[in-house]
Amino acid sequence: MAGSELYKLVSPLGEDLLFYRMRAIEGLSRVSSFELDCLSENDAINVDDILAQNVHVEMKMPDESLRFFAGYVTRFAQAGMHGRYHVYRATVHAWTWFLTRTADCRIFQEKTVPDIVKEIFADHPTADFEDRLSGSYEPREYCVQYRETDFNFVSRLLEEEGIYYYYEFDGDQNKMILVDSMETHSPFPGYDQVPYIKPSGSGRSELENIAYWEFRREVKPGKWAHTDYDFKKPNVKLDAKSLIERSHPHADYEVFDYPGEYLAKGEGELYAKTRIEEVHRGYEVAEGSGNARGIAVGCRLTVYGHPRGDQNAEYLVTRSEMNCQAEGFESDGLGGATYDVVFEALNTAHVFRPERRTPRPLVKGPQTAVVVGPAGDEIHTDEYGRVKVQFFWDRYGNSDANSSCWMRVSHPWAGKNWGMIAIPRIGQEVIVECLEGDPDKPIITGRVYNANQMPPYDLPANATQTGIKTRSSKGGGTANFNEIRFEDKKGSEQLFIHAEKNQDIEVENDETHWVGHDRTKKVDNNEDNTIGANRTENVGGNEEITIGGNRTEKVGGKENITIGVSRTETVGTTESITIGAARTTKIGGSDSLTIGAAQSTTIGAAQSVTVAAAYSLTAGAAISMTCGAAASVTAGAGINLTTGAAINLMAPAGVNLLAGTQVNGLTSNESWLKAISYGVTGMVTEMKGVVMEVVGVKTEAVTTKAENVAFENKVAALEKVAAGLQMINPVTKITQGALALRQAAMQIFS
């Protein structure tokens, strides 16, 4: 089966499938597409033998070199007959078409658009591309492919950055070329200049040329302005704009957009420049047609010969539609091979930017995710209270600190160093929404329970309970929590507060507590109360205080205690009272003091005891009185000393007895003076029941009355050691013991 001399199809079917005609459509940032009509004598070609296979068309150039059109068969059909040949129709696309066959959801972090694109391409075995970018691109903190094909994802990223592409073909190779500037492009070999030749009635020129040329301009907005917001710098204005001046009127219309998709003013200015260049891509367009086989998308060419001088310039071919057909088969009357091309071109004085025609994916509502972080952590956050999550649609995340970007968390209040905060913890399920539906801008707006994260209270049994219950971290269990709980069950209303460890309450002004019924307070350890000013405590009924150990009470000023009725104070062991100055005790009735053991009273100065009536002192054993100076006992109605034993008086300096009337000494046995020498001068002595011995003195049951008495004894010493002395005023009685006098002489005088 004979083929064409100008065109040849190379495919896995070889000579069984011949080139007949082709319609090729190419454009900047457009997947090349070729519609091929092929002929075959085989009426039953196995479609799977060619479907998705790489094929190419060779077109012979005037200089005998070849130009290629290559790609993969994406559709193959049998379409009738042409003479005795069966017609087969193949649709051929460049390899990037396969990116339309797969869709995904995945997250990229801290990567530039070129890096993201290359990572996507790496997943496709047919990928063939070359990076000829001259610009620099900022990494994107967070970039999401969300429910979109790889092709749409790559396309919109490139469009946003102003990056475009075209294809270069060589044999089976269909290579994508990534570019971002006019300087990157070069002419197709041998076609750096193409003449414009106006068609004439004599037919086509033999010289390859451009036969038709159309030039147009269109009014475009002259300014692009946009802004954005960076929560880390909320006061920084991110307004940015760019303009392209044109000489015609009304060229200064402005397009404003928000958000600009940037976080730095300089970056915003670059994007504004890209956007206005995109708008002006269609400001000036040239359309042409001709038969020059070297007019190819992505290549420069210079037009010459046009009658309008400003059209003779250098252009970049931005779009083309080529139709070609092989010479006729078996005298079908089609004549020789044909070729013509219709194209669009942009003057290279301008800039080409791709149109942003690929829509961003829209997250149409809230979705949920699980909070994640580094292994072993329970709370993973930053200085802004942001957290990271694992989305349920993310098949590539590892539920760790790299699963997502930091996400801001909504709180009921968010003020300047005030408000409410509750950091979502690892494992909790949260509600995520996206600002303006953009998956690149997630924000956490709520939290929800699930079967692994159940509510703190059993439901529906405790449906009347409302509260906040936390969990101690790190390593806290169900028994470690702080809690504020409200019980609204009718008749059982309660406010419950639990502090796992400390509770600190600060009130900068007044605090008022009202308890309608009982109040119980229990402190298992120490309690300290500090009151800066006064304290008033009113107890309407009884008060009972039980202290298991010691009690110390210190009053810096005065203390007044008023007891309306009686008071009982019981001290289990010793009691010590220290008074820095004077003490006054006033008792309206009787005073009874009972001491189970000894009592010791020490007075730093004088002591005065005044008793309005009788004074009685009873000692179960001896009474001892020690006086550092003189001792004086004064009784208005006499002194009685009564003792069951002897009374001993001992004084190294003598004993003086003064009586206003008489001194009486009485004894039932013998005289009260023995073997003593004494002299009496002007003395009247009356003695009754007195026994006196020269060696020592012993007095029993004595009453002494003396008037003008002088008694002198210098012979012997008096010695007697007795027990105790008790003297009661105004009547003094010696009830037990003896009075001991240790002296060599005793004088009695008046």
Collect all residues with Cβ–Cβ distance below 8 Å to 536 and sequence separation of at least 6: none
Mean pLDDT of 53-68: 96
| Helix (DSSP H) and strand (DSSP E) numbers for the chain | 3, 33
pLDDT at 697 over 70: no
Q: According to the 3-state scheme, what is the secondary structure of 450-502?
A: CCCCCCCCCCCCCCCEEEEECCCCCCCCCCCCCEEEEECCCCCCEEEEECCCC
Distance, CA of 8 to CA of 69 (rounded, Å): 10
* Buried/exposed code over 646-678 (b: 16+ C-beta within 10 A; e: otherwise): bbbbbeeeebeeebeebbbbbbeeeebbeebee
Q: Is 267 helix (H, G, I), strand (E, B) or coil?
A: helix
Going from the C-alpha of 494 to that of each of 468, 482, 491, 682, the distances in angstroms are 14, 16, 9, 100
Hey, CA dihedral for 504, 507, 510, 512, is it positive or negative? negative
Beta bridge partners of residue 86, listed in sequence order: 40, 81
292 in helix, strand or coil? Answer: coil
Q: Are residues 706 and 674 in the same domain?
A: yes
Last residue of a domain, one of 397, 425, 453: 453
| pLDDT, position 659 | 61
Decide if 651 is inside a domain: yes
Domain count, the chain: 3
Who wins on pLDDT, 305 or 572? 305
Banded pLDDT at 202 (limits 50, 70, 90):
low
Question: To the nearest 10°, the Cα dihedral for 256, 262, 267, 270?
Answer: -40
Least confident piece of the model among 365-379, 439-453, 521-535, 652-666: 652-666
Gyration radius from the chain CA atoms = 60
Same domain, 43 and 167: yes
Q: Does residue 446 share a domain with residue 304?
A: no
Please indicate, yes or no, whether residues 42 and 120 belong to a single structural domain of this protein.
yes
- Say how many C-beta atoms besides its own lie within 10 A of residue 376's C-beta: 7
Confidence of residue 657 (pLDDT cuts 50, 70, 90): low
Here the tokens at position 448 are 């929800």
Beta-sheet pairing, 223-226 with 254-257: parallel
Q: Could you report how far apart the first and last alpha carbons of the chain are, in Å? A: 180
**Structural domain span for residue 17:** 1-138+161-201+293-341
Of 471, 371, 366, residue with least CA distance to 429:
371
- Domain assignment present for 665: yes
Residues 329 and 426 in one domain: no
Which element (helix H / strand E) includes 273?
A: helix 265-279
Q: What residues pair up with 242 in beta bridges, in sequence order?
A: 224
Q: Which residues contact 319 (CB under 8 A, 6 or more apart)?
A: 26, 27, 28, 30, 297, 343, 344
Q: Is the peptide bond before 234 cis (omega within 30 degrees of 0)?
A: no
Segment 439-462, tens digit of pLDDT: 999 999 999 999 999 999 999 999
Give the pLDDT band of residue 665 (cuts 50, 70, 90): low
The predicted pLDDT at position 380 comes to: 96
Query: What percentage of the chain reaches a pLDDT higher than 90?
Result: 66
Residue among 219, 324, 222, 199 nearest 272 (CA): 222
CA torsion angle 678 680 685 691 (round to 10): 0
Average the pLDDT over each of 38-47, 49-58, 471-480, 653-662 and give the range with the smallest value: 653-662
What is the residue type of 80?
G
Q: How confident is the model at residue 3 (pLDDT cuts 50, 70, 90)?
A: low
Q: Are residues 297 and 434 in the same domain?
A: no
What tens digit of pLDDT does each residue of 394-424 get?
Answer: 999 999 999 999 999 999 999 999 999 999 9
Task: Kindly report the CATH number assigned to the domain that includes residue 374.
Answer: 2.40.50.230
* 279-301 tens-digit pLDDT: 999 999 999 999 999 999 999 99
Q: What percent of the chain has pLDDT over 70?
A: 84
- The two tokens of residue 748 are 């009695």
Cβ–Cβ under 8 Å, residues 1 and 41: yes
Q: Are 308 and 286 in contact (CB under 8 A)?
A: no
Is 74 contained in some domain?
Answer: yes
Residue 525 within any structural domain of the chain: no
460 lies in a domain? no
pLDDT computed for residue 296 by the predictor = 98
How many Å apart are CA 431 and CA 448, to the nearest integer?
Answer: 7
Give the pLDDT mean for 248-274.
95
Q: What is the pLDDT of residue 715?
A: 44
Q: Are residues 436 and 306 in the same domain?
A: no
pLDDT in tens, 300-319: 999 999 999 999 999 999 99
Calpha distance 11→300 (Å, rounded): 30
Q: How far is the C-alpha of 625 from the C-alpha of 448, rounded, in Å?
A: 88
Residue 571 has pLDDT above 50, yes or no: yes
88 and 195 share one domain: yes
Distance (Å, whole) CA 281 – CA 275: 10
Q: Which residues contact 579 (CB under 8 A, 6 or more apart)?
A: none
What's the token pair of residue 677?
């020498």
**CA dist., res. 197 & res. 118, Å (int):** 44
361 near 148, Cβ under 8 Å?
yes
Between these two residues, 713 and 139, which has the higher pLDDT value?
139
Residue 332's pLDDT is what?
52
DSSP output for 176-235: EEEE-SGGG-EEPTT-SEEEB---BTTB--SS--EEEEEEEE----SEEEE----TTSTT
What is the predicted pLDDT for the residue at 737? 42
Residues 659 and 732 grouped into a single domain: yes
Q: Is residue 304 located within the same domain as residue 172?
A: yes
Q: Residue 131: how many CB atoms within 10 A of its CB?
A: 12
Q: Of 394, 420, 453, at which residue does a domain stop?
A: 453
Question: Which residue from 155, 222, 221, 165 is spatially nearest to 356, judged by alpha carbons?
Answer: 155
User: Which H or E run contains 443?
Assistant: strand 442-448
Q: What is the reported pLDDT for 553?
A: 83
Length of the chain: 750
Cβ within 8 Å of residue 95, ≥6 positions away: 71, 72, 124, 126, 127, 128, 174, 176
Residue 743 in any domain: the answer is yes
pLDDT tens for 605-632 read: 777 777 777 777 777 777 777 777 777 7
Q: Answer yes or no: do 336 and 369 share one domain.
A: no
pLDDT at 329 over 90: no
| 512-567: pLDDT as tens digits | 999 999 999 989 999 888 888 998 988 888 888 888 888 888 888 888 888 888 88
Q: Tell me the average pLDDT across 7-20.
A: 96
The confidence score (pLDDT) of residue 5 equals: 86
* Mean pLDDT of all residues belonging to the chain: 86
Q: From CA 655, how far away is CA 229, in angstroms rounded? A: 112
Last residue of a domain, one of 453, 486, 503: 453
- The pLDDT, as a whole number, for residue 683 is 46
User: What band does 335 get if pLDDT is binned at 50, 70 and 90?
Assistant: low
Question: Tokens 């023995």 appear where?
Answer: 674
* Residue 320's CATH number: 2.30.110.50
| Same domain, yes or no: 409 and 334 | no
- Residue 593 within any structural domain of the chain: no
Alpha-carbon distance of 119 to 124, in angstroms, equals 10
Q: What is the pLDDT of residues 452-510, one digit of tens each?
A: 999 999 999 999 999 999 999 999 999 999 999 999 999 999 999 999 999 999 999 99
- C-alpha span between 737 and 116 (Å, rounded): 117
Which of 687, 748, 690 is CA-nearest to residue 714?
Answer: 748
Pick 566 or 123 by higher pLDDT: 123
Strands (E), 61-155: 66-82, 85-93, 103-108, 129-131, 143-149
What token pair was written down for 90? 């193949």
Does the residue 41 lie in any domain?
Answer: yes
Q: Higher confidence at residue 506 or residue 697?
A: 506
- Cβ contacts of 529-536, under 8 Å, gap ≥ 24: none
